Each structure stands twice: as structure tokens, then as C-alpha cells.
């Protein structure tokens, strides 16, 4: 066989071997990290804090009147600036 072809074949096999070994090591490390996170990475369970009774106006999804006025003013100002 031509020496150039044998060197090319050797380089290809070494390159593919390096990639194969790297991928095997990567899968092993990923599996190990997954096992460690499942074992030691459990977040402590914190009981949910139930807020005290809220007034009826705050319990609904309607924002306060001041917020509505600010939104209306911002929309109006945006529409005026985009028209000119």
C-alpha cells in the first residue's frame, strides 16, 4: 500500500478512536453527575406560606385605579408619539 494512504488510514483511525473515547468518557461523566444530583441534590421541602385573609378588592385580579390611570396615560402617550 502507498505510504501516504497508510498514513491517512492511520490518522483516520486515531482520530475516530479519540472521538469514540471522548464520547464514552462524556457519557460516563454525565451518568455519574446525574446520579450525584439525584442523590445529593434534593432541595429541602419548604411548606407553603398561606397569606392572611385579603380584602375582597385585593383578592380579585383588577389592579388599583392608580395603576390603570398610569397604563392609560402611557398608552395614550405611545400612540401620540407613534403617529407623528
pLDDT digit string, tens, across residues 4-34:
999 999 999 999 999 999 999 999 999 999 9
Residue reference for cell 442523590: 39
Q: What's the pLDDT at 4?
A: 94
pLDDT band of residue 56 (cuts 50, 70, 90) is low
Q: Is the dihedral of CA 5, 9, 10, 15 positive or negative?
A: positive
| DSSP classification of residue 74 | H
For the chain, helix, strand, coil in percent to 5 are 75, 0, 25
Q: Is the dihedral of CA 55, 60, 63, 68 positive or negative?
A: negative
Residue 57 has pLDDT above 60, yes or no: no
- pTM for the model stands at 0.47
Amino acid at each position: 500500500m502507498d505510504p501516504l494512504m497508510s498514513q491517512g488510514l492511520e490518522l483516520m483511525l486515531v482520530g475516530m478512536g479519540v472521538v469514540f473515547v471522548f464520547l464514552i468518557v462524556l457519557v460516563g461523566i454525565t451518568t455519574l453527575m446525574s446520579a450525584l444530583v439525584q442523590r445529593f441534590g434534593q432541595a429541602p421541602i419548604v411548606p407553603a406560606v398561606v397569606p392572611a385573609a385579603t380584602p375582597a378588592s385585593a383578592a380579585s385580579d383588577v389592579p388599583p385605579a392608580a395603576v390603570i390611570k398610569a397604563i392609560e396615560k402611557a398608552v395614550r402617550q405611545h400612540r401620540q408619539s407613534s403617529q407623528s
